Amino acid sequence: MTARQRRKPAYQLVRCAALLGATFVTVKPLPARQRVEVQTSDSAIVALAAFVAGAAERVSHVWPGFWSEQEGFILADPGKWVVLYTTVPAPPGFAVSSSHVGTTRKLPGQVYVLGGEWADLAASRGGVDIEFVLGLDTVTAIPIRDSASATLSLLYHEAFHGYQRRRFVASQRPLEAFGGAVISTPEYEAAAEVERRILLATLHEEDRQTVAHLLRAYLAVRRRRTQSLPVEVQVVERHLERMEGSAEFVGHRMRIVALNEQAEQLVHILERRLTDSLRAPNVANKAHWRHRYRIYGTGATIALWLDRWNPTWEQALERGRDFEELLSEAVDFRAFEADSLAEEAMRDFGFEELVRHFRDWARRPAPAPLPAELAERPIPPIEPRPTLHSAVSPRFTTPNAS
């Protein structure tokens, strides 16, 4: 170990673990109050809906202008119950619920319940409706998850996409696909993995200067990875990061505020998102899905640092700026330092070893392709997992295998 490396103990710890291929994420046990299970009964879902309505004022501080007591939404237990909160009269078939869990104030809306499915509502069949038109109201509709916290994260995330449609200056509309060939080289995969490791390392650091240094290194490696890509691939990455990274950040932050969880819970969630996002079976074998899906965690982690360091980043993002630009400004990233920063970070975070790893994978016989319906199924926008992975090395597979 060199003297330079010894000056950064926590950074170094992460690096060593990274080189061993472990996930090195120690996630603290969740406090008991976060394990509120949503029971499969209308009353539990009604209670959760009333709780969300009652938490509106609290969560409205997370993103200026997003969410209020007027915000309508639907929580569906597919095939069993559709629970609606709205300020306008409910459609025929819905029964008024008298539940006022979670607030003592009179809300402007009302919770309603419908048994069974509701035709045309994707959420009642397990999907998500970002902007479901309901008479005079437009609501976000989601299927419930296996816990209250996961359900809330999903609801706020998807509702934020509706807000983006209304309020964000649109980025250039890219095709939502990464070209498999350009992003499947061992060097590209290795650089992307180095970037993920650097962002993960920032979550373990407390010293602002160290974090800023890591983030400059992140930007330098990213620049090196992306600069030779066709411009449309760069546009896709920036667009997805702007939309999904902010929705991911907002979804988890609002659920933390709603449930009165500890603020640092967000760091643990982001650790999991940065680590788990490449493990889903329908992601691991597909380069374009893998690179799409990693953006949820990387974008939300960048959002965390912008939120701490730039008091007006939300407005800037709404007006059309992207995470890479805003982060570059926040950490004073200078182009003339980029090469030396990138080389240092690639050395410290195991770039060469990763390149060898991905080359080895590329030489192996292609794995059996996933069944088409699994391979092409859209990945759920967010899926916080109740079980945590540990010591799992990334299952990167043969580029262009499919």
Enumerate binding residues for Zn ion (CB under 5 A): 244, 247, 381
Nearer to Zn ion, 204 or 292 (CB): 292
- Kindly tell me which of 149 and 397 has the beta carbon lying closer to Zn ion: 149
- Residue 344 or 383: the one with the smaller Cβ distance to Zn ion is 383
User: Which is nearer to Zn ion, 155 or 341 (by Cβ)?
Assistant: 155
Residue 140 C-beta: closest distance to Zn ion, Å: 11
Cα dist. 170→66, 132, 274, 401 in Å?
17, 21, 26, 34
**For residues 254 and 62, is the Cβ–Cβ distance under 8 A?**
yes
Q: How far is the CB of 13 from Zn ion (least distance, A)?
A: 32
Contact 277, 294 (CB under 8 A): yes
The nearer residue to Zn ion, 161 or 197, going by C-beta atoms, is 161
Q: CA-CA distance, 22 to 33, in Å (whole number)? A: 30
Helix/strand/coil for 76: strand
Instruction: Give the nearest residue (CB) to Zn ion.
Output: 381
Cβ–Cβ < 8 Å for 305, 202? yes
Question: Least distance from C-beta 296 to Zn ion, angstroms?
Answer: 7
DSSP string, 33-70: GGG----SSHHHHHHHHHHHHHTHHHHTTSSTT---TT
Of 247 and 317, nearer to Zn ion (C-beta) is 247
Lookup result for tokens 């407390």: 206
**Residue 330: which of 212, 227, 250, 191 has the closest Cα?**
212
Secondary structure E strands in 122-260? 129-134, 137-143
Q: Which residue number, 225 or 238, has a Cβ lying nearer to Zn ion?
A: 238
Query: In angstroms, what is the minimal distance from the CB of 268 to Zn ion?
Result: 20
Report in angstroms how near the CB of residue 281 gets to Zn ion at its nearest. Answer: 20
Among 212, 248, 207, residue whose Cα is nearest residue 337: 212
Buried b (16+ CB within 10 A) or exposed e, 73-83: bbbbbbeebbb
The nearest distance, CB 160 to Zn ion, in angstroms, is 8
CB of 381 to Zn ion, least distance (A): 3
Residue closer to Zn ion, measured from CB, 237 or 244: 244
Rounded to the nearest whole angstrom, what is the least distance from the CB of residue 94 to Zn ion in the complex? 28
Q: Is 2 exposed, middle or buried (0-12, 13-18, 19+ CB in 10 A)?
A: exposed
Which of 234, 225, 200, 229 shows the shortest CA–CA distance to 346?
Answer: 225
